[in-house]
Amino acid sequence: MNYLSRERVLTTFKDDLRGFLKECIPAERRVFDWRDPEADPQGNYAVDCRVNGIDKPLFIYGLTNDNRTNAATIAIHHFEKRGAQFRTLGVFEDQEKIGRKVLARFTDVCDRQYSNLGANRERIETFINKALLG
């Protein structure tokens, strides 16, 4: 039963974040589950939401656990290694549940992060709006 409850919470966070981003970002400016078809045809380096139409695209990651945070860190490193120009935003389900070393590595590569969605909706929306303005 605990396993099912945890899975349900993870699904809710992802859905909540996606719904929030739909409210903040016009449909023509966002792509969910974006993958670079040229540099990554296998889709190994996914971005939860790519925001287009600005000088540097904004890559947004929803972070639920250590594995997801590590995957985002690796993806950001991949894009940096390719020389891509972009900015990053990480939104944690609960940052306190992320291991210290995992969080430290992610902090080194992420431009802006928020510890959770619930208490930071206004701040995240402000950050996204500033990014949309260029």
What DSSP letter does each residue of 86-110 carry, written as one string?
-EEEEEES-GGGS-HHHHHHHHHH-
CA distance linking residue 6 with residue 1, whole number of Å = 9
Residue 47 structural domain: 2-132
**Number of domains making up the chain:** 1
Bridge partner list, 125:
none
For residue 62, which amino acid is it? G
What DSSP letter does each residue of 12-66 carry, written as one string?
HHHHHHHHHHHHHS-GGGEEEEE--TTT-TT--S-EEEEE-SSSSPEEEEEE-SH
pLDDT at 31: 98
pLDDT at 38: 87
Q: Over the chain (134 residues), what is each successive 10-residue block's mean pLDDT?
A: 52 92 97 92 95 96 98 97 96 98 98 97 97 86
Whichever domain contains 117, its CATH number is 3.40.1350
pLDDT at 11: 61
The pTM for the full model equals 0.91
